[in-house]
Structure formats: structure tokens, C-alpha cells
A and B are shown apart, each in its own frame.
Chain A
Amino acid sequence: MNTKSKKRFTFTLCMLLIVSAIVGCSNSGNKAEPSNTANGNAAVGNEENPYKEKYDPPVTISTAWGVDPALTFREGETIENNVATKWALDTLGIKVDSLWSVTDTNGAFATKMRLAMSSGQKMPDIAVVNDKLLAQDLIDSGMFQDAGALFDKYAGEKWKAAMNLDPGVWNAYVNDGKRMGIPLLDYAYNSDYLLWIRQDWLDKLNLQAPKTIAELEAVMEAFKNNNPQGLAPDKVVPLSVGFKTSMNTWMGDPSWVFGAYGTLPSQWNLAADGTLEYGSTNAGIKQGLIKLKEWRDKGYIPQEAALWDENKTSEPAVAGTAGIIPGPYWMSGWPLLDTAKNVEGAVWKPYAIPTGEDGTAMRHGTHFVNGVILINKDMKNPEAFFTYENYLFENLADPQEGSPFELGAFEGYDYALDASGNPLYLDDVPGGAITAPLRYFIVRDGARIPDAQFKALLNLAEGKEATTYREKEVIAQYGPETALAATVVMQQEDISKKDMFVGPSTKTMKSRMDYLKKIEAQTFNEIIYGAKPAEAFDEFVKSWKSSGGDDITKEVNEWYSNVAK
């Protein structure tokens, strides 16, 4: 190549670059045009229902992603472009446009969202948020619209039915009487608890499962001083509970002890007069504290319960030195499955929460809301989002025979088909299964009907053959004991009390709640540890009320009377 042709070559290359740049620009210009005309069409056809089963030409929904770090992808796919986005475009004519995505560790999604909000960046059409504070900030920012009205207009039957299981789910997102966000439904009863008891210990001691607190004490006494596993009394934890995080938690939860005296601590309960009352200031707490102190003195509960968090309470249970642990129905899978590995013949069975002398019992309930879906004020086709989600509720939430999701979410991802058309799961899927392709949908986990999983469990408990996808799934994931536990949870459905206050923090709460929680935890633990007499509880109630508690109660009831209408 001589210099002349070299120069020519460079020149051509430059021209090519320039031309392609121009073409690229004009291309993006062209792109904008059709969407404009589509808007025009929508405006013209305003009288007819804009809601469609499938959109042609496709419409766009923009969103932003907080990607679970554990989520895996097939080669070449990302959260922006994967089997679920292709599916949405092919099946529904909906193009999912990702504004940004971030690996959601240490609350990165919330941070990025806040930054986007304060720097005035474009907000996504659909924001799925499970951080309560962020959700409230976004709602307060005024950038999102009345989602409740859209929901009433466009949501399908199945979705509406799921939402109606508890009309209270909207309460957290009501602002000035408007439902500003659509609650993201999750499975019900996930943190309702029961007592897991070592059945092999009961059998060897010839004891019945305790039905009342008094019977429970007899069982704990026998577990401790007459241990069937031959453990020395100081090595046994008859009842594994912990107070470190709260008196109202999930695993090793002590709140039912107070429930036997008619109240649940650290949550807002419905009082007899129809108002909301903070459970920790109810007189029943005092008796519960006296009982817990007695149990600690007798060595029924861990000596260091005040230092134990949830996971710590499961340690003696798994090691085989604990006799009873309160916890959710799914504990049979994790962590209690491992007990049998440590102690041969160890069997955990689920039992109902014991009642007090007068038959009272309470446990804390589970809100089946796991976040909120916010719809941007400026979203051009909000109905398209409902097309998307209605389809998932119809077909994916509880797939029956013949549903496109009958065998799983996507072939080649969470399941595969063998030569004769039978489904393969997990490691049998070529290239290994993607365990959670449901996370590829705009709304986390696609669509969940709160009672679907529990219904499946109850069906199985009755001895029904697993037929639907959901039933097969719970069998594969949890095992038979879980179905039994589900029935125990359901037997006591009426004692399950949810925290009635789900609204945004009130004004006084923001400034006073931490101090009130601090004196609450301090007083309760000091009474249980004998550092203060039980009378200290009355003083606590007095200072709780005068240090802002009365104002908070007033504000909470104002909120409640607004949403309860």
C-alpha cells in the first residue's frame, strides 16, 4: 500500500464513521416518531377502552431494577434483556424499557432511587419498592399517581380477588384518601408461628403436647430435669426464645406468652373500644413479664435470652439440646431438618400455641404485603401494565392444567422437557436450572396470590394427590411435616393478630418512638432479669404515655379512623 492509497483509506474510514454517526442519529430520531403517532392515535381513540390483551404496535413500560445478587442469567442475557422481556414483547406486545439497574446489596436500589429522585432524573413508569421509607418518600414526592383508581378500572378478576382477601393491604399506601400504590402481594401466614416440640422427647416421657401454659410448664420441667436424651439439666434449653431484636419477631418469638394474658407487645392492637392501642403498655404485659422471669429463674428459657437473636435461638434446636422452639410453619425445612443429623431419632412436630388459664391465646399475624407498586404520573399507557400483570395473575399465580406456565415459568430456565415431553427440574435442566426466573418479571416474583401456597399445603395435608404446579412445588421444597404445620396454623387462625398500624411514621413517632422503644426494651429485660421489680412496668407505662406515647396513640388513631372508613 503506498502512501496515497493509505491516505485514501483513512479518509474513507473517516467518512464511514461520520456517515454511520449521522445515520445512527437520524435512526433514533425516526424511532421517536412512531411513538408520537401512537400517542396521537390513543388520544383520538379516547372513547374506546385503551386496555388491550395485546398491543400492536407494541407499547413501552419503563422500569428500574434492583437485582438480587443471587439471581442468575443465561449466557448473554441480562435483567434488561432476557426471556421474560422477550416473552412480554411477543405475547403481550409490551416492550420493557430499563432506565437503569443496580445489584441490590446494602440497599443499593433504595440509594440509587433516592439519588435519582433528588437529582431530578427521569422516574420509571413502574417502580416496585419494598423499602417502606423509600416508598413513602416516593409517594410524598408527588411523582406517582393514584394507583387505586387505575386498579379499580383495569385489574383483572383474579388480581382483585387476591387483593380482597384483606382489604387492609391498601392501608399503608393511602394518602389523603387516595391509594397511591398497589400493594405487592406475598404468601400469607409466612411469619405466623406455632410451637415446634420434640415429639421423641414427649413420647419417651409419656407426655401429651401442652394445651395450656400450665401444661407447658410441666412439659418444660420434665424436659429439663428428667431429660429423655440424658442431658444434664443445665445443658437443656426447654424453650428456646430470644429477646435481642424484639419481643415480637419470627423465630424463637416470645410474644405468645403475653398473648396468653390478652395482648401482644410491640405492635398496635385493636382494643375493645375499637381504637388502636400499643400492646406493650397493656396491663397483660406485666403478667407475661412475671411469667418469663419465673421461667428464666427456673432455667426453662435461655439464661442469656436477652443476647439471643432469632438465629441464635435455632442453634440449640438444631444441636438437639432444645425441647421447644416457637417459629413459622416452614421451619421443618430450615433449620429443623438438620436436627436429625445431630441427634439420631430427633423428631419435631408442630403444635398449637398454648392458651392462658381463661383460654386466651394470641400470636402475631403476617401482613401479606411485601412492598408496593408505584405508577408514574406521566406514564403514557398505564393500562398496559395491567395487561401484563393481569395475565400473570390469570396464568402464573396458580397455574392450572393447560396454562402456559403449567410446568414452570420458562422452558430451558426453571424447567426443561425430556424427549417424551416430561418436565425436568433443577440439575436435570441442561446447563443447570435458573432457580428464580420469576424475578425477571417487572413485578418481583411475577404474581402471588396470598393464600395459594397455603391452600396447596392444606390440600396436601388432607392426603390429596399433588396435581397443580403449586402443590407439586411445595412438596418438592418443604416435605410433608410442613403441610401438617400449615393445618396447625389454620386451626388457630382466629388468634392471629396483625399489627394494625401500617401507615407512615407519624410526626411524634419520628421524634419519640426510638426513645419509647428503648425504655420499653430496657424495662422489660430488666424485669425479666430481676434488676427491677415487676412494679417498674407501671412506671414504664406512665413515662411511656407522658414522653410522647399519648400523642402517638392519638395520631395513630387519627390515621386509623381515616383508613378504616
Chain B
Amino acid sequence: MPQQQTLQPDDTSGTVVKLKGKPLFYYLIKQWPFHLMVLPSLVFLIIFAYLPMGGLVMAFQDYKPWLGLTGSEWVGFDQFRYLFEREDSLQVIWNTLIIAIFKMVLNLFAPFVFAILLNEIRKQLVKRFVQTLVYLPHFLSWVILGGILTDLLSTEGGLVNRLLTGVFGIQPIFFLGNGDWFRFTVILSDVWKEFGFGTVVFLAALANVNPSLYEAAEVDGASRWKQTLHITVPSMIPIAIVVGTLALGNVLNAGFDQIFNLYNSLVYAKGDIIDTFVYRTAILNGEMGFGTAIGLFKSVISFILVVISYRLAYKLANYRIF
């Protein structure tokens, strides 16, 4: 449709050549109402996302509030060196990775499966009810859930342990006091809390699948299971890649508020993560330089991972997000 092309000149490569001939601010002036509409979010971004990046210099300083960013002493990479010199730093990074990766994978897998199952329910009322019910926990804070979990999982009369001993005859398990069980509890409770919310995205993807595909499959004699396998799952893969790629940016976030409300000194070896570590060393001691250094370190790692996964997603699944 040639007419449309002239209406939207930026979309075609042909007009790019044309663009070169125009002065720099030609389109800015010509389309000023659109640029004006973008302005607030641009200002917002500059003020709240780009300007604070200047504070990153703190990571290389022995920051003192009264000396400010310009007056504080430069210490080079000392803050980073300190992060890796601590006897337990590798352990803390390892804990973070294990907990975060398990959470990431399960939080991708569980909603994926659950959305497919939920989609098979015929009765709309039941479907809506279940959907609401499973995403409610997402809105509870870990401060509250931490207290509830501690009571539920108690070895002295906690509901879960009473069930385990009463029904299965197992010795009470000290979920929050044993390192391995602690990780298990943290990962599982996080998945329980978040999978309902994740399901919403996948349900939206399912609603977009072209019904004619199913009709065609039915004509071809495909069973429900075959339909799921060959139509539903492939059509959900792109959105799963988007969700997975975005989640990868959080690979060094194992969930501060959850761990902070559940951990104790018995599980330091397997439950202490970067964020709780930063809270104790940087926030409680007012070491802003150190806190910033770790924040920068996490951001750089996350950035690298997001770039890699983005490239992989494009290469393997031929899918582009941006």
C-alpha cells in the first residue's frame, strides 16, 4: 500500500535517505505535539533514572555525607576488593545465585503449567475464582508472611510438622533452622506467593491464540493433549522468553525482604544472601560507599546477563523484545 508509506515516512528505509537531507530539528519542530507528550516521561527518566547514576561515583569513594560527592576521598577499587576479600563473600554470592536461579526457573515454569491447566477449565466462574485465589498471596508483604510461616513451620505444634508426624509418621523437620531445608522453604514459599501473579501474563497470551488453529487441529483429529503440545505450548513460548529474559536481570536478587524476615544465625551458611549482607554491613554501619559498590556490581552482572539472554532469545527463538 504505497499510500500508507507516505503517511508514515519513518517506517520505511526509503524515507531514511530523505531524512538525511532535512535539518536536525526538522521533525522535532514539525511534530512538536508528539514530542511534547513524550517530554514528561523523558524528564521523569532523566531526573529519577539518569541523574542518580552520578551517585555511582560513591562506589569508588570513602563517602562522607558532609564532604559530599566532590569532597570525599577517592579509594579506587577498595570497596570492591573488600567485597571479595571477606571470607564468606563467595559463599554469600553462591547462596544468592542458587536461591535466585531456582526461584527464577520455578517462577517461570509453575505459572506456565498452571495457566495451561487453568485454561482447560470450562466454567468461567470456577476459573476466575481460582485465578483470584492464587494471585492473592502476591499482595501480602513478607513481614506478615514471615510471621505466619514461622508459626506454620514450627517444630513445636506447627501445622505442617503436625501433619507430617500425624499423617506420614515423619520426625518433625526444623524447616527454618536447617540450611538445606531453609533454602527449600524459601524457594517454595516464594513460588507459592508469586506463581498466581505470573499466571496472569500467560493467560493473556493464551487468550490471543487464534481459535482457528484449534478448529483446524480438531478437523485433523488431534486430541486435546496433542493440541496443547503443538498449538498452546508453541504459542506461549515467545511470552515465556520475554518473561524469562526480564527475570534474568534479577539473578542477583534472591529476595531481601523474604530472607530477612525468615533467616537466623543457624542458617547463615546457606541462607545469607548479598542483600542481607549489604544490609548488615552497609546500612547498619552507614557505609554508603560499600553499599553503592555492591549495587553497581549487581547492576553490571545483571546488565551482562540481560544482554546475553536477549541475544540468545533472538538467535534461538528468533524473538526480539525491543
Residues of A within 8 A of B (CB): 114, 117-118, 133, 137-138, 140-143, 234, 243-244, 302-304, 306-307, 505, 510-511, 513-515, 518, 521-522, 524-526, 529, 531, 547
Q: B274-287: contact bitstring with A at CB < 8 Å (1 yes, 0 no)? A: 00010011001111
A-B contact count (CB 8 A): 74
> Known contacts A140-B66, A521-B265, A525-B264; can you find 13 more A-B pairs with CB under 8 A?
A117-B65, A142-B66, A243-B264, A303-B155, A304-B154, A304-B177, A306-B266, A307-B177, A510-B285, A514-B285, A515-B87, A518-B280, A547-B87
* B residues in contact with A510, CB < 8 Å: 285, 287
User: Could you tell me the distance between the alpha carbons of A522 and B269 in the complex, rounded to whole angstroms?
Assistant: 8
User: Could you tell me the distance between the alpha carbons of A514 and B174 in the complex, rounded to whole angstroms?
Assistant: 26
User: Could you tell me the distance between the alpha carbons of A522 and B68 in the complex, rounded to whole angstroms?
Assistant: 37
User: Could you tell me the distance between the alpha carbons of A143 and B66 in the complex, rounded to whole angstroms?
Assistant: 9
Contacts A307-B150, A515-B86, A525-B266 given; indicate if A140 touches B64 (C-beta within 8 A).
Answer: yes
Nearest CB in chain B to that of A118: its residue: B65
B177: which of A140, A529, A547 is its contact (CB, 8 Å)?
A529
Nearest CB in chain B to that of A237: its residue: B156
10 A-B pairs with CB atoms under 8 Å apart are A133-B286, A138-B66, A234-B156, A244-B264, A304-B156, A514-B280, A514-B281, A514-B284, A515-B86, A524-B265
Which 10 A-B residue pairs are closest in the complex by CB-CB distance? A521-B265, A141-B66, A133-B286, A118-B65, A525-B265, A514-B281, A522-B268, A114-B65, A525-B266, A306-B266
* A residues in contact with B286, CB < 8 Å: 133, 137
Q: Give the distance to chain B from A115, nearest Cβ to Cβ, in Å.
A: 8
User: Could you tell me the distance between the alpha carbons of A95 and B176 in the complex, rounded to whole angstroms?
Assistant: 56
Contacts A118-B66, A304-B156 given; indicate if A518 touches B266 (C-beta within 8 A).
Answer: no
Q: Are A518 and B272 in contact, CB atoms less than 8 angstroms apart?
A: yes
Q: Give the distance to chain B from A116, nearest Cβ to Cβ, in Å.
A: 10
Chain B interface secondary structure, helix, strand, loop or mixed? loop
Nearest CB in chain B to that of A521: its residue: B265
Nearest CB in chain B to that of A136: its residue: B286
* A residues in contact with B87, CB < 8 Å: 515, 547
* A residues in contact with B264, CB < 8 Å: 243-244, 306-307, 525
* B residues in contact with A524, CB < 8 Å: 265
Q: Are A303 and B268 in contact, CB atoms less than 8 angstroms apart?
A: no
User: Could you tell me the distance between the alpha carbons of A524 and B264 in the complex, rounded to whole angstroms?
Assistant: 12
User: Could you tell me the distance between the alpha carbons of A98 and B86 in the complex, rounded to whole angstroms?
Assistant: 45
User: Could you tell me the distance between the alpha carbons of A521 and B88 in the complex, rounded to whole angstroms?
Assistant: 14
Whether, in the assembled complex, B82 has its beta carbon less than 8 Å from a beta carbon of chain A, the answer is: yes
Q: Kindly name the residue among B65, B177, B272, B287 whose own CB sees the greatest number of chain A CB atoms within 10 A.
A: B65
Contacts A117-B65, A117-B66, A518-B88 given; indicate if A133 touches B268 (C-beta within 8 A).
Answer: no
A243: which of B86, B156, B265, B287 is its contact (CB, 8 Å)?
B265
Q: Are A521 and B268 in contact, CB atoms less than 8 angstroms apart?
A: yes
Q: Give the distance to chain B from A106, nearest Cβ to Cβ, in Å.
A: 12
User: Could you tell me the distance between the alpha carbons of A208 and B174 in the complex, rounded to whole angstroms?
Assistant: 36
Q: Are B285 and A505 in contact, CB atoms less than 8 angstroms apart?
A: yes
Residues of B within 8 A of A (CB): 64-66, 68, 82, 86-88, 150, 154-156, 174, 176-177, 264-266, 268-269, 272, 277, 280-281, 284-287
User: Could you tell me the distance between the alpha carbons of A415 and B49 in the complex, rounded to whole angstroms?
Assistant: 52
* B residues in contact with A511, CB < 8 Å: 82
User: Could you tell me the distance between the alpha carbons of A505 and B285 in the complex, rounded to whole angstroms?
Assistant: 8
User: Could you tell me the distance between the alpha carbons of A303 and B280 in the complex, rounded to whole angstroms?
Assistant: 26
User: Could you tell me the distance between the alpha carbons of A263 and B305 in the complex, rounded to whole angstroms?
Assistant: 50
User: Could you tell me the distance between the alpha carbons of A171 and B132 in the complex, rounded to whole angstroms?
Assistant: 58
* B residues in contact with A531, CB < 8 Å: 266
User: Could you tell me the distance between the alpha carbons of A140 and B66 in the complex, rounded to whole angstroms?
Assistant: 8
Q: Are A526 and B281 in contact, CB atoms less than 8 angstroms apart?
A: no
Q: Are B266 and A529 in contact, CB atoms less than 8 angstroms apart?
A: yes
Q: Are B156 and A518 in contact, CB atoms less than 8 angstroms apart?
A: no
Q: Are A518 and B268 in contact, CB atoms less than 8 angstroms apart?
A: yes
User: Could you tell me the distance between the alpha carbons of A525 and B269 in the complex, rounded to whole angstroms?
Assistant: 12
User: Could you tell me the distance between the alpha carbons of A522 and B82 in the complex, rounded to whole angstroms?
Assistant: 22
* B residues in contact with A529, CB < 8 Å: 177, 266
Q: Give the distance to chain B from A539, nearest Cβ to Cβ, in Å.
A: 13
* A residues in contact with B65, CB < 8 Å: 114, 117-118, 137, 141
User: Could you tell me the distance between the alpha carbons of A171 and B269 in the complex, rounded to whole angstroms?
Assistant: 37
* A residues in contact with B269, CB < 8 Å: 522
Q: Are A137 and B268 in contact, CB atoms less than 8 angstroms apart?
A: no
User: Could you tell me the distance between the alpha carbons of A114 and B88 in the complex, rounded to whole angstroms?
Assistant: 31
Q: Give the distance to chain B from A314, nearest Cβ to Cβ, in Å.
A: 15
